[in-house]
Amino acid sequence: MQDEPLAAGPTTTTKRPTAGRRATSYDVARAAGVAQSTVSRCFQDFSAISPATRDLVLRTARRLGYTPNALARSLITRRSNMVGVIATGYTLRGNPDVIYAIGEALAAAGKRLLLVTAERDLPDAEALHDVLEFPLDGLISCIQLGDDEIRWIRDRHIALVLYNRTSPTIPIDTVAANHSVAAGIAAEALHAAGHRRFLCVGGPPDAPVSRDRVAGFTDRLAAFGIRHTPVIATDFSYASGHDGFLAWAKGGKLPDAVFCANDQTALGVIDACRFTLGLAIPRDISVIGFDDVTEAARPSYLLTTMHQDSVDMARKAVDLLLQRLAAPDRPVVHVEVAAGLVVRDSARLAGANSA
């Protein structure tokens, strides 16, 4: 394809666009004396443009302060290289490594991340509509999506992967920890060590991850004959774990073991025991969390917890998305990641060296 110069040739003077207005490809074309389509092709890596024309256009673009509009280009290529990620505020505050790992993996694949936050871990039509206003190639959802939302996304031919969530009714690519099984392992370890009075600190009642972990823990205890385990709800934050446990402690006999559906609430429970109630961890009360966030291994906590490799899971989610983009009709893939017990000092467990 030949380059397309304008009849008059390049202009002898180059005027910058009016102050406050961004330079367009048409401005560059006029200044360089080429067609607007030539400017567009000069910013494509493998287009058939002569080196001299490309150099002229790029130099002119620099003078005018022009940069290509990725959104406009996506209308032509039908690919924006942009991937949306929907996450709750808790994920951003409590486990930001997930978002960083997703962004890093996307960048390595030449994709950009568009982050949208949702208030709760529920189907969120408003957040979904916000992110889908952009021309996305794909979407990674760290919140629960309902059937209607999943169908809505599919109708727009957007690749979708659920991170640490599943869809019970619609086949969709997922990467998730074995929440129920892992929580059952925590219950078994505490029961084997002789604990008999339990308290479960869950997250929001409508959060699927919390429901699965709480159910896995209490169901396993029921199999051992402990059929009633109190459960308190939190918003998954340190403060709600701390304050929720203190409120529970005012009402009656303390448990001898506490299972928390995430690490942030577990850290709050530990500090409530130590600094408000004057209890020793784990001599007076054992505490187990879930996630194995960075703070869990700090010497001030040494939290026994269920470890899930959130960073590896995030990379797997991106890999699934890239595979779906390359082959839209490939079979649905479910990746289940096993969470394992990490024994530190916050729980009295059989065989563990606890002070």
Structural domain contains residue 350: no
HEC assignment per residue over 53-90? HHHHHHHHHHHHCCCCCHHHHHHHHCCCCEEEEEEEHH
Question: Closest Cα partner for 262 from 237, 239, 229?
Answer: 237
**pLDDT tens, per residue, the chain with 355 residues:** 445 444 344 444 555 565 557 788 889 999 999 998 898 888 776 678 899 999 999 999 999 988 776 555 554 445 578 999 999 888 888 888 899 999 999 999 999 999 988 888 876 677 777 777 778 899 999 999 989 899 989 888 899 999 999 999 999 999 999 999 999 999 999 999 999 999 999 999 888 999 999 999 999 999 999 999 999 999 999 999 999 999 999 987 899 999 999 999 999 999 999 999 999 999 999 999 999 999 999 999 999 999 999 999 999 999 999 999 999 999 999 999 999 999 999 999 987 644 4
Structural domain contains residue 355: no
Of 68, 92, 122, which closes a domain? 68
What's the CATH code of the domain at 23?
Answer: 1.10.260.40
Structural domain contains residue 209: yes
What's the CATH code of the domain at 282?
Answer: 3.40.50.2300
Domain of 44 in residue numbering reads as: 1-68
Judging by DSSP bridges, how do beta strands 138-141 and 112-118 pair with one another?
unpaired
Same domain for 274 and 221?
Answer: yes
Structural domain contains residue 352: no
pLDDT computed for residue 15 by the predictor: 58
Same domain for 2 and 150?
Answer: no
36-74 burial, b at 16+ Cβ within 10 Å, e below that, comes to bebbbbbbeeeeebeeebbebbbebbeebebeeeeeebb
Same domain for 147 and 121?
Answer: yes
Structural domain contains residue 8: yes
With the CA atoms of 70, 75, 79 and 81 taken in that order, what torsion angle do they form, in degrees rounded to the nearest 10?
20
Same domain for 186 and 301?
Answer: yes
Orientation angle between helical segments 310-326 and 97-108, nearest 10 degrees: 40
Same domain for 36 and 141?
Answer: no
Q: What is the rounded distance in angstroms from the CA atom of residue 332 to the CA atom of residue 68?
A: 36
Backbone angles phi, psi at 222, to 5 degrees: -60, -35
Q: Would you say 123 and 148 are in contact if contact means Cβ atoms under 8 Å apart?
A: yes
Same domain for 241 and 278?
Answer: yes
Structural domain contains residue 344: no
Of 292, 308, 324, which closes a domain? 308
Of 68, 90, 117, which closes a domain? 68
| Cis status of the peptide bond prior to 10, with omega within 30 of 0 | no
Structural domain contains residue 353: no
Same domain for 130 and 216?
Answer: no
Judging by DSSP bridges, how do beta strands 286-291 and 304-307 pair with one another?
parallel
Same domain for 100 and 113?
Answer: yes
pLDDT computed for residue 25 by the predictor: 86
> How many folded domains does the chain comprise?
3
pTM (predicted TM-score): 0.79
Same domain for 105 and 152?
Answer: yes
pLDDT computed for residue 6 by the predictor: 44
Same domain for 185 and 272?
Answer: yes
Same domain for 273 and 199?
Answer: yes
Same domain for 173 and 183?
Answer: no
Structural domain contains residue 195: yes
